Each structure stands twice: as structure tokens, then as C-alpha cells.
Structure 1
Amino acid sequence: MRASKVPLGAVSAVVGFLVIVEFTSGVLQGYYTPLLTDIARFLGVHDADVNWFEGTQLMVSALVVPALAKLGDMVGHKRILLISTAITAVASIALAFSPNFWIFLIAWSLQGFYVVWLPLEIALIYSRSRQHPHAAALTRKSAAYLVAGLELGAIAGALAAGALGVALAGQLWLILLIPALAVVACFFVVLFGVTESPEKTGGTLDRGGLVLITTALLVLTAGLSFMRLNGPGNPLPWLAIALGILLFVPFVRYELKQADPLIDIRMFRTPAMWPVQVTAGLFGVSVLGAQAPLSTFARTDASVYGYGLSASTGETSILIGIYILSLVVGALLFPLVTRVVRPRVALIGAALLVALGYLLFLPLHDTLPQLLVNMTVAGIGSGALVAALPAAAAAAAPHGQTGVATGLTNTTKTIGGAFASCVFGIALLSYVTTSTGAEGTAGSLEGYMIVWTICGVTALVAAALLVFVPKLAFQDAAETVEQTPAVR
């Protein structure tokens, strides 16, 4: 199969200022990671407690994305993008002036509203290009540029954090104020530069469904929190998690009875949709849950604990920058690869690269070159999936449900990341003894092994599930006509 080439002009016409929005999103995602150890020391918490930041932010994202994605379809994707940007800006400013762990945690959680940006943008792009003969290919290529902008922003953020961490040492509030100012600027870019989507479904928000899914997610979040606090040996966390999962049953039954549901559960019945959404959840384990462990492992002092890279803030930012650059490569390669093989095959290949990269950590984690190879392999696959999953969901979604479908990829991804963050936090919580016999603050090597194993296995499961996607899924009619049986 060889798909028709989408002109760059057509892509730029629908992407426009959205690349700047994703660049800002990338700054938020890359800037704080090299500073996590410094933030933990400033707040007086253990390295494992850093996973609280990821876990709570991911669960807030899971709570708000379904409603915001649906509202985007109803009243306009730009309008909701603007609202979420304003909330993110306020939370980012609050981070810089948070005096203690709990206020910082609340501000960090609310900053998670930025997670809805990419699905809203993909939905907006697909809505604006629906009449184009190559709408699916155009959306894939546009998504690749957006993700490239996101990851370049993450590189810029990581490098800036590393440099400022040295130049402004001892002034953490000022260092944390920089990304907040970037989000404020992004608000005005959206306000004046982004065109609203031409299609709005109207209607009213399914408040009953919103209450039910929020309750289920809150109970699930409480269970994960209890798991962190009480440990896996206590039955209370397991009961709360089980209850949270069971509460999705009445939600599903309620949604199936609604004429205009918050989430159209029937979408999950299609063979092109359910593997994509499950893959997004499994992918969230590594792309979201493993970020903090990778940073803290690199910063761990090998002379004290016997493992780690003893990396400084600047060295860690460079390491993360190279990893993110591999994400850019993966995102930009995906639309090119889908001109040669079907999107379904490209998705499977991307998931396998993620699995290979993380499983390589098990035998190879002692030197910087080893970590760079592992992270590059995983990064290429991850970059492709970040761009491909919302684009695939948009192509498989029924008319008027594009925002919901793309939002669901982020919701399931954040839920997967939140579960992983909890499990990884527990795995790393065991205190280790330093070379002097004192109790240290770093996580155990066995805990890191568990993290890498889980990331690799979940990616393998995702690749296996994608095999069940129909061979011609996520393609335009023109691509289907042009294909040959050479590649299956």
C-alpha cells in the first residue's frame, strides 16, 4: 500500500498556531522533570513521594478530560481549549509560590488540565479537514507536527530547567515561574490565533453520566491513595479499587440508555476503537508513569547506593532531552511509515519498540550510553504512539463524537499512568542502606527493575491487542482504493 502524499500547505492550514500550544504543553512536561529531586528536597519529602505528583495530576486529568472533550464537541473545541489553558496558567503560577507539599500537590494536580489540549486540537483539526479527500492522512500528519512541537517544547523545557537550576540555585520559586509565564502567553495565542471548529453538536451535557464516572474515578483514586499510604498488605485499598471498578458498571448501563451520552459506550464495540483505547491505557503505564523513576534513577548517587548514574540536574536534563528528541523522530516517522504500510501495522511496530526499549533496561542500566540506547528505542515507539492514537481514534469515531473519541485516548492513558504511578511508588518506596550504613532516600534497584518490567510487558500486551484491529482501519477511502496486497 502507498498512500497519497498530503501537501504541506494543507497541513499548515489546519495546524497553524496549535503547534505553539503544543510547544507550551511540551515545556510543562519537560521543564519539571530534571527538577524533581530538587523539588523533593525543598519540600522535605522522599524520592518515592514524587510519584504523588504524577499520580494526582493524572487522576485529575482523567476526571476532567471526558467532560471537557464532550463540551468541545458541543460548544466548540477552541472555547474549551481556552478555558483549560486559563486554569493551567493559574495552577502553574501557584506552583511557584507554594509553601509546602500539600499546596504544591494541589497546584500540580490542577495543572493537569493541559492534558486535554492535544485531544481537543486533534478533534479540531479533524473537524476542519473532514471534507478533505485525505482527512485521515491529513490528521495523522498534522498530529505528527503537533507532537513534534510538543516534544521540542519538552526538550527546550528540560534544557532550560537544567541551565536555570544551576544559574538560579537556591531560588526555586523563580525557576518555577518561567513555565507559568509561558502558559500565560499561550492563553493569548489561543485567544487570538486559533480558529474555532466549524462543527458543533450542541445539546446539553450528560450530568448524570458525569456524576457517575466522576464518582467511580474518585473511588478508584482513593483506593490508589490508600495503597500508597497503607501498602499493598492492607485490605482497604483493594476494596476501594474493586469498588471503583464496579462503579463503572452502573455508569455503562446508564450511558447506554442516553440519547446523547457523555461517552458513547457503543464506540467501544467497534473492532477499530476498543484496541486503540486499551492500548492508550497500557501505553500510559510507560509514557506517564515511568517519567519520574527514570529521572530519579539517573540522579541516584552510584558511589552511595551502588547503582544509578550520579547525574547532576544539568546532565539529567541532557539525558531527558535526547530521549524527547527520539519522541520527535518517532512522531515524524509515523505518517511516513503509514505511506508504506497500513496504520495498523505501524501501530503494532511502535508498541513493540516501546516494549523492547524498556525491557533492555533489565540487563543494561549501568552506564549512560546504555540508558541512552534504551530510552531512544522506547522513545521512537512512544513518539509514534503519542501522535497515532488520537489520530486513529478520530478516524474511527462516528460523526459528532471526534472530541469524545480523542479525549478517551487521553483518559485511558492517564488512568493507566495513574495506576502505574501508584505501583511504581510502592515498588520504589523501600528504603535502602547507603555505603555508610545509614538509611538513604533513594528507591531500591529491585524497585526500578519492577518498573522497567511492567513497562515492557504492558507494551507487549498492547501490540498483541492491536493485531485484532481490522486491516483497513484508520485509512481514507482513497488510501483503501490505492492499496495493494503487498503489505498486510
Structure 2
Amino acid sequence: MSARVTLGTLAGVVGFLAFVEFTSGVLQGWYTPMLTDIARHLSIHDADVNWLEGTQLMLSALVVPALAKLGDMVGHKRILLVSTALTALASLALPFTDSFAVFLVAWALQGFYVVWLPLEIALIWSRSRRMQGRAAITARAAGLLVAALELGAISGALAGGALVDAIPLWIVLLIPALLVVVCFFVILFGVQESPEPTGGRLDTVGLVLISFALIAFTGGLSFLRLNGVGDVLPWALVALGVLLVWPFAAWELRHPDPLIDVRMFRSPALGPVFLTAGLFGVSVLGAQAPLSTFARTDPDVYGFGLGTGGFQTSLIIGVYLIAMIVGALTFPLVARRFTPRVALIGAALLVGVGFLLFLPFHTAYAQVISNMVVVGLGSGALVAALPAAAAAAAPATQTGVATGLTNSVKTVGGAIASCVFGIALFHGATGAGVAAEGTAGSFTGYLTVWIVCGVTALVAAVLLVFVPKQAFTDHSVDAVPAVV
């Protein structure tokens, strides 16, 4: 049976899952142009917007390993439904509160949607188990899902940016919540369950250990924001979080059915994928809020920024997401011409160069758009390639876990970056502990964001140069997203 025929047999489920990813994209793009409006609605500083993003990323990092493992155990569709229901409930709470604490909790719980893509790719991989060209089918499906995600993000950013200038904010916030409710029923009636779940029991001890480690680490970063870098408590919590990883790893190595098989991090194929995902998360997740608030900052008042409205900001985001689609669909062509590893190195370089271009070029609307096109080309390639590569390299019983780990590690990177960027924007990069005037972030804080995002992407590119060639050549070029 050819890969073309087997892809046709999965076309129905991929179509429904594409709608799910479209909804995920809407959630990711909808709110970004209106973050300044949300900050004014909640009476908070622009820098505090990073804590909305940071808490959501942190919750995502906690729940993805457990939900991905449960997907392997009891069925990927079942866990997809649970996560969608929780996302819907959280999204429905956002329009009806002006309390920062309530909004923060609901915003964090909305982060359950991050497990959708790993579960979907694991479901497709599972359903194509007896089909020829399984890796190619999964990779092409991953490319379609990422394209649907970015199309949703473009639609969400443009629509959200246009509506926030025209109608009350609570109505704007209600629209994506209703779309998530529709998404739940699309999954319920349109998606078939993955065959042959592995069963077993959830490693609750491992889940508790990794949760404590992540909570301590990110809690320390939060206290750094509140208490300043001179306080001992935040650094102690950060150190505790790092130290708690050791008992977690020791437990997982002894467990017969671990929550996360830590041996995967030593794999020459999976290790570089996870490492790249973490460094990539710094820019693709941690920099979203600062880029939006920088564009909305009035240069006549603060001396920097673009002073754009909601719709103009959404156009910047839309161009960036179009570039991501182009990057995702162009990546396999470059990989065939050279190698997947070289293509990934090139993608990471594009992300790094794009952010570093902000240092000299940030004063004009066209300059910011040009920078974001460069970043988007590299980001699209990485978003599409990483989970598909993880699925192909993972053990048969750990597909959901491996694809989930690409998101988890990326999310941890984004959460750390979001906390650090919040500190930088509020205090500035000088370390003097003086907040920016008014409600806008500090310019030195924005410089810090661009430098960190650029340097981490370049570090990822350099590290990929030194990994063993088999880390990527073990997967054929067909194991990365291809143009369908």
C-alpha cells in the first residue's frame, strides 16, 4: 500500500484535527494584539502581562507530560476531549472578570490547549501503525496541522486586532471561547480513537517530583520579579528546583513504566530535538507579549515603540505567521537538497539573525515587519519539524510522551524567558531596580529581550553543528513535513 493511499485513509481524521489546530491558532493569535487593552482593563503594568503568559506556560509545562502519558495509556482522543473541555471553561471565564487574580487563574488554565498538537500527532502515528510510509504520512499530516494552526493564528490576530478597536473588550474575549466549545464537539463526533492504548498506571510519584521541581524553579523566578535579584529566597528556590530534577530522574530510571523515560534525553536522535525545542521556546513563546507591547508603545510619550493600534499590531503578527507557514512548507525542500540537520541549523540561524536585527532596526513599522519575516521563516520550520521527528524516533509505547516532551521543553524555555523578560521590562537591563516610567516597559528591557532571543537561537544552531550526524539522518528526509 502506498503512502499516498494511506494518507487518503487518514484524510478524514486529519481534516477534523486540522480544525482543532485552527482553533488552537486562534487562541494563540487572538489575544496578542489586545494585550495592552487587557492590561488597561485589569489596571496592571505592561510588564505584568508577562506574568499572564508565564503562568500559562508554567501550567502547560506541568500538565503536558501527564496528559501525553495518559494519552498513550487510555487513548489520545479521550485526553484530547478532557483538555479541550478544560480550555473551554477557562476561556469562558475570561470575558466576565476584571480581577487580575481571577483572570490570571483562568488564563493559566486555558493553557491546556498546548497538549493538542502532541496528542494529535501521536494519534495519527498510532492510527498509521500498519501503513507503509508511516513516518512520511505522520510528517505530512504534521505539516498540514501546523499550517492550519498558523492560519488560525493569522485569522485570530487579524480579527482580534480589528474587533478590539470596534466593540467592547468582553465581547471580543467571548468569541474565541465559543469557538473552543465548537471544537469540543468536532473532536467528540469527528475523531476516532487511537487503536491499542498501552494501558498501565500513571506514575504519580514521578509527576509529583517533576511538578515540585518546576514549581520551585519558576516560583523562584517569580520572586525575583517581586523581591529583586538581591534577595536570597528567589535564588534558593531556583537552586531547589534544579536539584529536584535529580531524584525525579533517579526515580524514572527505576520505574518500569515511567512518566518520562529520561533515557530519551540521551538518545542521539531525540536529545538534540529536545535541546533545540527548549532554546527555541525562549523566542517563540517568551517574546510574544514584549513584541506586542513594544509595537503599541507610543514613541511620542516614551521615546521608543511604534505607537500602533490594535489592527496595525495584528498586521505585524499576521505577516509573521504567514512567514511561519512558508518556513514550515519550505523546510522539507531544503532538507532534501542538503540534510535535515543542515536545514534545522539554517532555521535556527534565521531565528537568531531575525531577533538581532531588532537592535539596529526597530524605529519603523517596515523594519519590525522585515525582522519578523526572517524570524517567522525559521520558526515555522522548527515548529513543524520537531514533533514529527520526535514521533519517528520515539519507542513505540512513548510516542505521545516524546511529542509532548518537545512541547514541554519548549514551554519550560518559554516560561523561563517570560519571567526573565518580565523582570527586564519592569526594572530595565541596568539592574538598578528602577521601573520604567508610566505603564510602558523599559527600552533597555526590550533590548534584553531581543538579545536573549537572538543569542539562544544562535546557541541552538551551534549545538546542532556538533551533534552526531545520525541524530537526524536516522530519520529519512521524509520524516520531516513535506508539501502535500
TM above 0.5: yes
User: How far apart are the structure 2 equivalents of 1:392 and 1:320?
Assistant: 27
Aligned-partner SS, 1:338: helix
2:406 to 405, 409, 412: 409
2:194 to 197, 202, 212: 197
Q: What's the TM-score once normalised by structure 1's chain length?
A: 0.93
Aligned-partner SS, 1:16: helix
Give the structure 2 partner of residue 485 of structure 1.
Answer: none
Instruction: Report sequence identity in percent.
Output: 69
Give the structure 2 partner of residue 454 of structure 1.
Answer: 452
Q: Is the 8 A contact 1:136 1:474 kept in 2?
A: no
Q: CA deviation at 1:158?
A: 0.8
Q: How many residues align?
A: 470
Give the structure 1 partner of residue 89 of structure 2.
Answer: 90
Q: CA deviation at 1:13?
A: 5.2
Aligned partner letter, 1:383 = G
Q: Which moved more, 1:254-263 or 1:423-432?
A: 423-432
Q: CA deviation at 1:444?
A: 1.5
Give the structure 1 partner of residue 26 of structure 2.
Answer: 27
Aligned-partner SS, 2:202: coil
1:288 to 285, 308, 311: 285
User: How far apart are the structure 2 equivalents of 1:475 and 1:167?
Assistant: 51
Give the structure 1 partner of residue 345 of structure 2.
Answer: 348
User: How far apart are the structure 2 equivalents of 1:135 and 1:243?
Assistant: 42
Residues 151/79 of structure 1: CA separation in 2 closer, same or farther (3 Å cut): same
Q: Is the 8 A contact 1:34 1:316 kept in 2?
A: yes
Give the structure 1 partner of residue 482 of structure 2.
Answer: none
Give the structure 2 partner of residue 435 of structure 1.
Answer: none
Q: Is the 8 A contact 2:348 2:460 kept in 1?
A: yes
Q: Is the 8 A contact 1:276 1:466 kept in 2?
A: no
Query: What is the RMSD computed on CA atoms of the aligned residues?
Result: 1.9
Aligned partner letter, 2:150 = E
User: How far apart are the structure 1 equivalents of 2:404 and 2:267?
Assistant: 17
User: How far apart are the structure 1 equivalents of 2:267 and 2:170?
Assistant: 49
2:220 to 223, 234, 242: 223
Q: CA deviation at 1:37?
A: 0.2
User: How far apart are the structure 1 equivalents of 2:473 and 2:194?
Assistant: 22
Kindly indicate whether residue 367 of structure 2 is the aligned counterpart of residue 370 of structure 1. Answer: yes
Kindly indicate whether residue 70 of structure 2 is the aligned counterpart of residue 49 of structure 1. Answer: no
User: How far apart are the structure 2 equivalents of 1:356 and 1:479?
Assistant: 25
Q: CA deviation at 1:100?
A: 0.6
Kindly indicate whether residue 179 of structure 2 is the aligned counterpart of residue 156 of structure 1. Answer: no
User: How far apart are the structure 2 equivalents of 1:218 and 1:142?
Assistant: 34
Aligned-partner SS, 2:395: coil
User: How far apart are the structure 2 equivalents of 1:460 and 1:366?
Assistant: 24
- Runs of 5+ unmatched residues, structure 2: 430-435, 479-484
Give the structure 2 partner of residue 359 of structure 1.
Answer: 356
Q: What's the TM-score once normalised by structure 2's chain length?
A: 0.93
The one-character-per-residue Cα deviations of 1:369-394 (angstroms, maximum 9, x if unpaired) are: 11111100001110111111111111
Q: Is the 8 A contact 2:126 2:194 kept in 1?
A: yes
User: How far apart are the structure 1 equivalents of 2:417 and 2:174?
Assistant: 29
1:442 to 436, 440, 443: 440
Aligned-partner SS, 2:336: coil
Q: CA deviation at 1:172?
A: 1.4
Give the structure 1 partner of residue 252 of structure 2.
Answer: 255
Q: CA deviation at 1:9?
A: 3.3
Q: Is the 8 A contact 1:272 1:469 kept in 2?
A: no
Q: Is the 8 A contact 1:364 1:371 kept in 2?
A: yes
The one-character-per-residue Cα deviations of 1:293-346 (angstroms, maximum 9, x if unpaired) are: 000000010111111111011111111111111111111222333333322222
Q: Is the 8 A contact 2:13 2:192 kept in 1?
A: no
Aligned-partner SS, 1:441: coil
User: How far apart are the structure 1 equivalents of 2:425 and 2:65?
Assistant: 31
- Runs of 5+ unmatched residues, structure 1: 433-437, 481-488
Give the structure 1 partner of residue 38 of structure 2.
Answer: 39
Give the structure 2 partner of residue 389 of structure 1.
Answer: 386
Q: Is the 8 A contact 1:158 1:321 kept in 2?
A: yes
User: How far apart are the structure 2 equivalents of 1:40 and 1:322?
Assistant: 24
Q: CA deviation at 1:230?
A: 0.9
Give the structure 1 partner of residue 173 of structure 2.
Answer: 176
